[in-house]
Amino acid sequence: MTDRRNVVLVTVDSLRADHCSFMGYERETTPTLDAMADDGLVFENAIAPGPSTPESMPTVMTGHDPVGGGDTGDVDELRANIRRHMETRNTLAETFRRRGYATAAFTPNPFTSRYFGFDRGFDRFEDYLDTFVRRGFRRLVSQLARESDLTFAVRMVLNMWQREEVFKPWEDYYDEVTEWTESVEEPYFVWVHLMDPHVPYLASEAYRRLRWWRMVYANYRFWRADKESAFDPALRQQLLTAYDDSIRYTDAFLDRLRADTDAVIAVHGDHGEAFGEHGIYGHEPYLYEENVHVPLVLDGVPDRTVTEPVSLAALPTMLTDASNGNDPMSFSTTDPFAVARTRAGEQTALRGRRVTVINSRTDMEMYALAAGEETPVSNPELERLCRRRLGVVSASEREREAITMAARRLVEG
């Protein structure tokens, strides 16, 4: 019997922190996650590295931010950038496999598929891209990257027909996860990516408070609407209800997993979801609280609450330490800011406990944080210091990638 702990990483797509009950939300959406937070390690100010999956998950899997660059919307460029990031950095799965762990991943999100290099280090990797989807995958992802109306139409039709990607509920592949954990020699590391709170918000009947036709119609209207304009209040409320129902459905996955698995379980959102707080809906490229403030809970470790801002980039270190029975908080929390950025480099944010600073190519926004509200403030000295801090972050990642690529060229000839 090994002293090393089994580890399960659960990524919940589009789950924002303030819609979780343990974070003070008025609705009961996360009873199991609440219990995990009561018993384990909870981060009140966890920050996603970016406001979408392609911006956030490469960092979660490597502990390093991607080097910024222009984003033309071309899927080949996006794929090349993410694959380069994954190939030039040690991944979480590679770390566990080198330590003798069996490794597996189950992810129906195309942006975390083998197409983007997320299979590195996994003994088993399921991205649920069957032959039909693979043939049209490049075109489909190209549409997804452009975020057009056609994007959602193609995605909806293909996936509704095949029960894949955003339409693949966790119950369709839960047994695959537990069958794998029961079949391998311990210790194991498994990563599960859940798509249920991602638009379209389609909770199963047992967790749905809206009638089926109303839920579908609300999602249809969401697709047709301009995501940067005001929504009808009734539509907004229907979308919020459907979103919360999908979170409740996702929480049922955690309930089953907690009963079936003897492991350290880490649960996090990969980014948030906006519902008009800044005139924006969905997960467009912005860095406000609703876009990047996410839940982060570790179950199976000593209970503690961390109030300092922590980036999801710390997850590889946390999980490695927790697997050894060590303190998952061995990494430094002396930095007063967590960093988030958009893929194309239009914005970079420094998120502190009481303030968020968002720097764009044209100006800098500063918000005081209190009781879940963002209030615009001005502090020229803090702005000057933040600009210096942002310059150091970018230079460090550029230097890291340049050194890694040079070393690879020497080794590979």
On the 0-12 / 13-18 / 19+ scale of CB atoms within 10 A, 392 is exposed
What integer best gives the mean pLDDT of the chain?
A: 85
Is residue 354 pLDDT above 70, yes or no? Answer: yes
Per residue in 376-407, pLDDT tens? 888 888 878 877 777 665 555 556 556 555 55
Report the pLDDT value the prediction gives residue 131, as an integer from 0 to 100. Answer: 44
> Three-state DSSP class for 264?
strand
310: in domain:
yes
Tell me if 362 is assigned to some domain.
no
Contact, 338 vs 45, CB < 8 A? yes
CATH number of the structural domain spanning residue 221: 3.40.720.10
Distance CA 292, CA 271 (A): 5
* This prediction's pTM: 0.88
User: Is residue 271, in this structure, part of any structural domain at all?
Assistant: yes
Look at residue 299 and give its three-state secondary structure.
strand
User: Does the pLDDT at position 135 exceed 80?
Assistant: no
Rounded Cα distance, 76 and 81, in Å:
9
In a domain, 127, yes or no: yes
- Examine residue 27 and state whether it is found in any structural domain, yes or no: yes
- Please state the domain count of the chain: 1
Residues 233-285 have pLDDT tens digits of 999 999 999 999 999 999 999 999 999 999 999 999 999 999 999 999 998 88
How do residues 70-123 score in pLDDT, each as one tens digit? 555 677 788 888 988 898 889 999 999 999 999 999 999 989 999 899 999 999
Measured CA to CA in angstroms, residue 209 lies from 213, 221, 246 at distances of: 12, 18, 10
In this structure, is residue 92 part of a structural domain?
Answer: yes
Residue 121 lies in a domain: yes
**pLDDT over 50 at 27, yes or no:** yes
Q: What pLDDT, on a 0 to 100 scale, did the predictor assign at position 334?
A: 66
Which pLDDT belongs to residue 376?
85
Q: Which residue segment(s) compose the domain that 109 sits in?
A: 7-336
> Could you give the angle at the alpha carbon of 94 between the alpha carbons of 178 and 67, nearest 5°?
120
In this prediction, residues 137-155 reach a mean pLDDT of 50
Mean pLDDT check: name the lowest of 5-9, 65-69, 162-166, 173-177: 162-166
H helices of 207-275, in order, are 212-224, 233-260
Q: Is residue 25 part of a domain?
A: yes
One-letter amino acid of 292: V
